[in-house]
Amino acid sequence: MATFTSSLPDEVLDQLAQAAKDLKLPKNKIIERALSIYLEQLDRAAYAKSYKKMANDPDMLAMAEEGMETYCRMLNEADKE
């Protein structure tokens, strides 16, 4: 694990100290969890943005439709067995 040093506004540090006291957790654990959640949200937003972009791409839509057609065909064949 690496050490990271940063400056934060006094108000944020006061809120962090209060949360650490209330939750009986070290400040670094709260920061670690908060940052992890934020980074996950950024990933999800990028993922959603890519889907919105693909929704307007005719080539991507055609490829998705072909994939669904193949998948449905495989399901039908499996049902016959």
Q: Where do the structural domains in the chain lie, given as residue ranges?
A: 10-80
**Buried b or exposed e, range 29-45, using 16+ CB within 10 angstroms:** ebbeeeeeeeeeeeeee
- Biggest CA–CA distance in the chain, Å, is 68
Q: Which two tokens stand for residue 73?
A: 């065909």
Q: One-letter amino acid identity for 52? A: K
Please tell me the predicted confidence (pLDDT) of residue 20. Answer: 97
- Look at residue 15 in the predicted model and tell me its pLDDT: 97
- Consecutive 10-residue runs of the chain (81 residues): their mean pLDDT? 92 97 97 97 90 79 82 86 75
pLDDT at residue number 43: 93
CB 16 within 8 A of CB 31: yes
